[in-house]
Structure 1
Amino acid sequence: MMSRHYSEAETIAIVADLTASRLGAFVRARVVSPLATPQGPAYREADLARLQLLCDLSECYELQDDALAMVMSLIDQLNTMRGDMRALMQAVASEPDEVRHRVGSNVRRVRIRLD
């Protein structure tokens, strides 16, 4: 299934509080990266969600571009870690009961030491 791509004009029309100048600033700050297409820059659904979050952070918290870049980097890291954790949990879940129990006990022991 091919994902939909949105032009700059469509993106600006869809994302609340997004303007051409704000979109340009986000691209220059490298907090969003459009796809290069023969028709010009294009944005995916995930980019639209990211742009909405960026606009919300800009509006609600008055974050500047450098702070936005740092916040988005942290969000990206958190999302990567969540994906890694999900994969690890699926891998452990596919193991026999004995292994799952041993891993669970070890996790609890390590967490107690870290607290």
Structure 2
Amino acid sequence: MSYDERTVVARIRRLSLRDLRIWVGEGWVRPAQGASGPVFDELDIARIRLVCDLRKEMSLPTDAIPVVLSLLDNLHSARRELKCLAEAVEKQPDEVRRDIVAVYRATRETEPAGEA
């Protein structure tokens, strides 16, 4: 489902059209571009709600918002990559999977605490 700016503002009552446009301009939300302006999907709506929480509920400073959003984007990206890796490992023969798990465990045991 897709929504225009006014529909998004109507769905998220704590959001103003001005704030939405600023956040899009800052790149905090990246809607698709339709013939009559930005078009938001459910993921955009979720991100807008997150920004509302960060700004209005948690009173996070404006300059911290892009940092938090970037960290969250990186986390989601890493999770997607790990999921793909796990699926690839799962498709390997039992012996290969066992070897991968053994090397992984050995690597974790030798890695200094706090490093990733």
- State whether TM-score is above 0.5: yes
Give % identity: 33
Deviation at 1:105, TM superposition (A): 0.6
Q: How does 1:23-42 map to 2 (within 5 A)?
A: 23-42=20-39
TM-score by length of 2: 0.90
Q: Match of 1:104, as an amino acid? A: V
Q: 4+ residue stretches of structure 1 with deviation over 4 A? A: none
**Greater mean deviation of Cα atoms: 101-110 or 11-20:** 11-20
Structure 2, unaligned stretches of length 5 or more?
none
Deviation at 1:28, TM superposition (A): 2.0
Deviation at 1:66, TM superposition (A): 2.2
**Greater mean deviation of Cα atoms: 85-94 or 26-35:** 26-35
* 1:112 aligns to 2:95 (yes or no): no
Q: Contact between 1:11 and 1:43, CA under 8 Å: does it hold in 2?
A: yes
* 1:86 aligns to 2:80 (yes or no): no
CA deviation vs aligned residue, 1:63-100 (integer Å, no higher than 9, x gap):
23321111001100000000000000000011011000
Which structure has more relative contact order (CA 8 Å, sep 6+)? It is 1
Q: Distance in 2 between the 1:22 and 1:57 partners?
A: 13
Q: How does 1:3-82 map to 2 (within 5 A)?
A: 4-82=1-79
Q: Structure 1 pair 28/108, CA: closer, same or farther in 2 (3 Å)? A: same
Q: Match of 1:102, as an amino acid? A: D
Deviation at 1:61, TM superposition (A): 1.8
SS at match of 1:88: helix
CA deviation vs aligned residue, 1:27-83 (integer Å, no higher than 9, x gap):
122111122111221111110000001101112221233211110011000000000
Structure 1, unaligned stretches of length 5 or more?
none
**Greater mean deviation of Cα atoms: 72-81 or 16-25:** 16-25
